[in-house]
C-alpha cells in the first residue's frame, strides 16, 4: 500500500475514534463521498452550462444545472453560482463584482467572531484592497444593533458583511437589512456556519432582507468543501438602483473569469447530492438535534465548571450550533489564564476531544495564543449523539479547563 493511503486510513480512524467538536467540521455521507471521488475530477469545464470553452461538456452541463436547480430551491434564491472553490473565493468574487478597490466595506471584527474575508485589515485581500471599518460585540459577545446602526451611519460603507465564524447567537437579519437600507449599502449574508440550520428551519433565513448570500457547503450543511453565491429578489431590485440590470451575470463574471478557472465538477456534483439530502424531513430533524445537543453540551459544562471558589466559567452562547468558552481565570481575567485557550485545546486533544483555540470577545491575548476555545455539535450529531452524550462530554471539558486554571493559581 502506498504510504499516502496508509496515512489516509490513519486519519479516518482518528476521526472515528476521537470526539469531533470543531463547529466547522462534519461528516459527509457515502453518496457525497462517491461523487467527490468520481471520474468528474477528469473533466475541464471552464465557463457555464451552455457556454463552455471546451467540448465534451453536455453531461457536465446537466450536472451543474441540477446543482443550481436544487440550490435555488433549497435556499429560495433567484440565482445561485455553485462554482466557487471555497468560502474565501466566494467572498472575493462578491467584492470584485460589487465594490471598487479603495471603496469602504464593513464587517465584524475577527476578535469578535467575524471572518478574515470580511475586511480584516492589512493581511487579507478584503482589508488590503478596500477601506475597511469593523464593528464589535458587547461584553456578552452579542451584536448591539443600535450601536451598529450608529457605526454604519457614521462610516457609510458601500457593502456590509453580516456573517460570523464564532458567533453563538441568532442573527437578526431584519435589523441588518434596515441598517443597510438606511445608508444604501449592499448587504451580504455569509451563512457558511449556519446554512444547515437555516434550511433545517432552526435559524431564520436572511433571504428576505439581504441582497447576496455566500456560503460554504460543508459545516452544518454536511456537504463537500465547496461554496456558492446566491442572489435574492431584494438584491435584483436593489441592483437596478446602481444601474446593474443583471446582478446574476455580474456575479458569475466575477467568479469566472474574474478570479477562477475551471470549476471542480466532482465538488459541484457532491454539492447537488448534499442539497438533495438537506431537502428532507430527516435533515430537519438533524438540525433540530444540533440545537438540542448544543444546549446539553453547555449544561454539562455549567454543571461541572460553575460555582467553584465563587468562580464562573464564561460561556458565550449558545443559540445555534456552537459556543465560545473563556478558559481564563474568572476571578482576575486581566492577570491569570489569558492566552490559555491553546493549552486547553491541546490537553483536550490528549484526551481524545478535538476543539479549536479561539479568541473571546475583547480578548487581551492575540489570535495566535487566544484565551478561549470554540466547540460545536454538528459532527457528533451526525454520528448519532444525543443530549446525554453531549452533557457528559461537557463535564469532561469543564474538568480539563478547571485543571488548567488551578495550575495557574
Catalytic residue selected from 25, 46, 172, 288 = 46
Is 219 known to be catalytic?
yes
Catalytic residue selected from 124, 164, 167, 190 = 190
Is 309 known to be catalytic?
no
Catalytic residue selected from 117, 165, 216, 382 = 216
Is 404 known to be catalytic?
no
Is 135 known to be catalytic?
no
What is the C-alpha separation between 67 and 56, in angstroms, rounded? Answer: 19
Is 386 known to be catalytic?
no
Is 225 known to be catalytic?
yes
Catalytic residue selected from 70, 219, 222, 250 = 219
Catalytic residue selected from 33, 225, 253, 299 = 225
Catalytic residue selected from 33, 44, 103, 136 = 44
Give exposure, 81-116, as e/b (b: 16+ Cβ within 10 Å): bbbbbebbbbbbbbbbbbbeeeebbbbbbbbbbbbb
Beta-carbon count within 10 A of 165 CB: 21
Q: Which residues have a catalytic role annotated?
A: 44, 46, 190, 216, 219, 225
Amino acid at each position: 500500500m502506498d504510504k499516502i493511503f496508509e496515512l489516509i486510513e490513519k486519519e479516518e480512524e482518528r476521526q472515528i475514534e476521537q470526539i469531533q467538536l470543531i463547529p466547522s467540521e462534519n461528516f459527509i455521507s457515502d453518496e457525497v463521498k462517491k461523487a467527490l471521488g468520481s471520474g468528474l475530477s477528469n473533466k475541464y469545464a471552464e465557463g457555464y452550462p451552455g457556454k463552455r470553452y471546451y467540448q465534451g461538456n453536455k453531461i457536465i452541463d446537466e450536472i451543474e444545472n441540477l446543482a443550481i436547480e436544487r440550490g435555488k430551491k433549497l435556499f429560495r434564491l433567484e440565482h445561485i453560482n455553485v462554482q466557487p472553490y471555497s468560502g474565501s473565493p466566494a467572498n472575493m468574487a462578491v467584492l470584485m463584482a460589487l465594490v471598487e478597490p479603495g471603496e469602504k466595506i464593513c464587517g465584524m471584527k475577527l476578535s469578535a467572531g467575524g471572518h478574515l474575508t470580511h475586511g480584516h485589515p492589512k493581511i487579507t485581500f478584503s482589508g488590503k484592497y478596500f477601506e475597511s471599518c469593523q464593528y464589535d460585540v458587547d461584553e456578552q459577545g452579542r451584536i448591539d444593533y443600535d450601536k451598529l446602526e450608529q457605526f454604519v451611519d457614521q462610516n457609510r460603507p458601500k457593502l456590509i458583511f453580516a456573517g460570523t465564524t464564532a458567533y453563538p447567537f441568532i442573527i437578526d437579519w431584519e435589523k441588518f437589512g434596515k441598517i443597510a437600507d438606511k445608508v444604501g449599502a449592499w448587504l451580504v449574508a455569509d451563512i457558511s456556519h449556519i446554512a444547515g440550520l437555516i434550511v433545517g428551519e432552526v435559524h431564520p433565513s436572511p433571504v428576505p432582507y439581504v441582497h447576496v448570500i455566500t456560503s460554504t457547503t460543508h459545516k452544518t450543511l454536511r456537504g463537500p468543501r465547496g461554496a456558492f453565491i446566491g442572489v435574492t429578489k431584494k438584491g435584483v431590485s436593489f441592483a437596478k438602483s446602481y444601474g446593474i440590470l443583471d446582478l446574476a451575470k455580474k456575479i458569475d463574471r466575477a467568479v469566472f473569469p474574474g478570479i477562477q478557472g475551471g470549476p471542480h465538477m466532482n465538488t459541484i456534483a457532491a454539492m447537488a447530492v448534499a442539497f438533495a439530502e438537506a431537502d428532507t424531513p430527516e435533515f430537519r430533524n438533524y438540525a433540530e438535534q444540533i440545537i438540542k445537543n448544543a444546549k446539553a453540551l453547555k449544561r454539562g459544562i455549567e454543571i461541572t465548571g460553575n460555582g467553584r471558589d465563587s468562580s464562573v466559567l464564561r460561556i458565550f452562547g449558545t443559540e445555534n450550533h456552537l459556543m465560545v468558552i473563556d478558559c481564563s481565570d474568572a476571578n482576575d481575567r486581566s492577570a491569570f489564564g489569558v492566552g490559555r485557550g491553546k493549552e486547553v485545546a491541546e490537553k483536550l486533544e490528549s484526551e481524545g476531544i478535538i476543539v479549536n483555540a479561539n479568541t473571546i470577545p475583547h480578548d487581551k491575548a492575540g489570535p495566535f495564543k487566544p484565551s478561549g476555545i470554540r466547540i460545536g455539535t454538528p459532527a457528533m450529531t451526525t454520528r448519532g449523539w444525543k443530549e446525554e452524550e453531549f452533557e457528559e462530554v461537557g463535564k469532561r471539558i469543564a474538568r480539563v479547563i478547571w485543571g488548567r486554571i488551578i495550575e495557574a493559581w
